[in-house]
Amino acid sequence: MENKILIYKGFIICALASIFVYANSLGGPFVYDDLAYVQRNPQIRSITSVSFFSPFSSYAPGLYRPMTNLSYAIDYSIFDLNPFGYHASNVLLHAIASGLTFLVLLLITGNFFAAFAAGILFAVHPVHTEAVSWVSGRSEILACIFVLLALIYYLRGNIRWSSMFYFFGLLSKEVAAPLVFVLPLLCRRKSKNYLPYAVSLIAYLTLRIMALGSLSVPMEHIRTAGLSFVERILMMIPVMVHYIRLMFLPTGLRVEYDWTSFSGLVTIFSAVIIALIISVLIRLRKNKNHLYFLCGAWFFIFLLPVMNIIPIGEFVAERFIYLPSVGLCFLAGLLINDLFKNKNKVSTLLLIAILFSGISIVRNAHWKSPEILWEKTLELSPNAPHALQNLASIRLAQGELDEAQDLVLRAIENWSDEPVLYFIGAQVYEGKGDNEKAGKMYDKSIELSLEDKYSMTESQIGVAYLKLDRIYEALESFEKAKEENKYDPSIWNNLGIVYAYLGKYEDSLVAFDRAIELYEKISLRSAEEENGYRGAIDNRKSLLEATEEL
């Protein structure tokens, strides 16, 4: 009974530590992909809307994460579109993942302090801020929770429940897949029936292919699409070293990196480091140091889905190591327990936990607004395309046209194939009254989007057509956009403008009313959304005045 109480206390303390560290993320708005994956995602408007046979979002045709959508739908049923509730769910889920990290290592080793240290370090580690403070990072947390639950039931010999949780992890995000390679490393003789896991994996792959039409992300959404397999792997070697460095020295955290290649010297040096680590792991395996081997193997095995063996949308992101980091937190817990004695190991854990907590709390504050997030990103990655693009949009909405122009031209200089950059540039020139340059930019954005390199949304294409007075093409694009996402207020506002051009005044009024209704449902409107809201109100008023005159 005392042991059970101690275990409960360990779980709760790990969970509370994570809640304490991430409490300052609760007041943040929806940022970046949250707008597409949550705020405008039709699938989350009711639990019955969640589909296991369609992509994660119309804005993400290569992603399949129905369990993550289900969690957002539950949030929506409780909190509507108040971001506080979604952030609270992320923090709560991270607290559960932290407690489960403690439980899994405790089940494997029976060593309370080592397991407790691993749970605490996982709870407060700064590298997790992207997954926890960003609502869109939830898929990483859910996949991790289900993997850890699958392990707990595997260690207890309950294969049926274990394989079921594995399936749920896959439906949260594909990063759960490598669990089937970790299970044999636990060497549990009584649990060698891996057929249920194979069934879960096959069922997941079948559903994924039915929903997406393929296993991978569409190639036009992949920056590394032009690289060969060998080139992709050579690029990932320094990234792996970067991930390992972040686990032990979590500085320079950012949401986007502007790395496009590495020098031969950096690649060789990184390859030597990885080779040394692998040789140590092999020696540990031979010497039957199974626990230390398991910790290192866990990290590398769970990195496999994000190693661009099959090309994915990004080649470096801190959220990618949320699940792999469990292995290195295990390692840290074991090392602190084995290298220090009594009070020394407690004080060592406390010192590291306080240091990591401070870094995490500071990093969480960067997610308090999109403006701060992108400014901090550009301090470390001055050519990061999405940071330049999004900060330019913010400056445009704020009326700071000169700075918006500088940002978007900087982005185009480095990323000349991205049509969205020309689209934003056109809006900047339009705001400055240079309609000739604006027209050329809109033309260029349409030209590039039709090449399917880094395509704009149908809504953005529709705006470009509208600005070029190509009304019927604009109508077609907006109608497609509405079918894909009927909860985006900007689409309804633009449809109202097009209907008014075509003399469909009743349809126009309905569209403006819908746009206003959707804008008013947004709890924390950005400067761009506030401008859109005011624009929809003004458009409705102008329409009513014009029709009264008629």
Over residues 447-487, the pLDDT tens digits come to 888 876 546 788 889 999 999 999 999 999 999 888 888 88
548: pLDDT strictly greater than 80: no
| 35: phi then psi, degrees, rounded to nearest 5 | -65, -40
123: pLDDT strictly greater than 80: yes
The DSSP secondary-structure symbol of 455 reads P
| Model pLDDT, residue 485 | 83
Q: What is the CA radius of gyration of the chain?
A: 25
Say whether domain 371-549 belongs to CATH 3.30.70.1400. Answer: no
Task: Give yes or no for a contact between 428 and 440, defined as CB atoms under 8 angstroms apart.
Answer: no
Closest CA to 256 of 137, 140, 87, 383: 383
Instruction: Tell me the pTM.
Output: 0.92
1: pLDDT strictly greater than 70: no
The DSSP secondary-structure symbol of 523 reads S
Task: Give yes or no for a contact between 313 and 221, defined as CB atoms under 8 angstroms apart.
Answer: yes
Domains of the chain, by residue range, sit at 2-367, 371-549
pLDDT tier, 197 (very low <50, low <70, confident <90, very high otherwise):
very high
Q: How many CA atoms lie within 13 A of 133 on its CB side?
A: 31
Q: What is the pLDDT of residues 138-196, one digit of tens each?
A: 999 999 999 999 999 999 989 999 999 999 999 999 999 999 999 988 865 555 688 99
Q: Within the chain, how many helices (H) and strands (E) appear?
A: 25, 0
